[in-house]
Amino acid sequence: MAFWSSTSAFTSKVPRKILFMFTLSLSVTYLFYSLMSCYNSLQFPLQENHVYQARVVTEETTSVAFREKLYSTTTHAYIDEDLIYKTSTVQTVTGYVVSTVDHSEDAESKRRETEWVGTPLAHTEMIAGGLNAVSGREHQESSTIDDDLSRRVNCTPDYGVKKLPQAIIIGVKKGGTRALLEALRVHPDVRAVGVEPHFFDRNYEKGLDWYRDLMPSTLEGQITMEKTPSYFVTNSAPKRIHSMAKDTKLIIVVRNPVTRAISDYTQTLSKRPEIPTFEVLAFKNRTLGLIDASWSALRIGIYALHLESWMQYFPLSQIHFVSGERLIVDPGGELARVQDFLGLKRIVTDKHFYFNKTKGFPCLKKPEDSSAPRCLGKSKGRTHPKIDSDVIHRLHKFYKPFNMMFYQMTGQNFQWEQEEMQ
Let me know if residue 235 belongs to a domain.
Answer: yes
pLDDT above 50 for 312: yes
Domain total of the chain: 1
**Percent of the chain with pLDDT strictly greater than 90:** 51
Q: Are 143 and 374 spatial neighbours (Cβ–Cβ below 8 Å)? A: yes
pLDDT of 32 = 67
pLDDT digits (tens, 9 = 90+) for 351-365: 988 777 776 677 788
Between the CA atoms of 10, 13, 18 and 24, what dihedral angle is there, to the nearest 10 degrees? 20
Let me know if residue 312 belongs to a domain.
Answer: yes
Alpha helices in 16-145 (DSSP H): 16-56, 59-72, 103-118
- Range 19-29 burial, b when 16+ CB lie within 10 A, else e: eeeeeeeeeee
The Cα 354–Cα 332 span in angstroms is 10
What mean pLDDT, rounded, does the chain reach? Answer: 74
The candidate with the shortest Cα–Cα distance to 301, out of 262, 244, 340, 352, is 262
Q: Are 155 and 75 spatial neighbours (Cβ–Cβ below 8 Å)? A: yes
The Cα 84–Cα 90 span in angstroms is 20
The CATH number of the domain holding residue 259 is 3.40.50.300
Q: Which residues are annotated as a binding site?
A: 174-178, 255, 263, 380-384
The Cα 422–Cα 63 span in angstroms is 51
Which residue among 174, 227, 359, 365 is the active-site one? 174
Let me know if residue 326 belongs to a domain.
Answer: yes
pLDDT digits (tens, 9 = 90+) for 165-212: 999 999 999 999 998 998 999 999 999 998 999 999 999 999 999 999
Helix (H, G, I), strand (E, B) or coil at 375: strand
Range of the domain at 304: 161-410
Let me know if residue 304 belongs to a domain.
Answer: yes
pLDDT digits (tens, 9 = 90+) for 271-307: 999 999 999 999 999 889 899 999 999 999 999 999 9
Predicted TM-score (pTM) of the model is 0.65
Let me know if residue 396 belongs to a domain.
Answer: yes
Q: Which residues are annotated as a binding site for 3'-phosphoadenylyl sulfate?
A: 174-178, 255, 263, 380-384
In the chain, how many H helices and how many E strands? Answer: 16, 13
What confidence category does residue 34 fall into, taking pLDDT thresholds of 50, 70 and 90? low
Let me know if residue 132 belongs to a domain.
Answer: no
Alpha helices in 273-375 (DSSP H): 278-282, 296-299, 303-310, 324-329, 331-342
pLDDT above 80 for 322: yes
What confidence category does residue 369 fall into, taking pLDDT thresholds of 50, 70 and 90? low
Let me know if residue 404 belongs to a domain.
Answer: yes
pLDDT above 80 for 71: no
User: Active site includes 174?
Assistant: yes
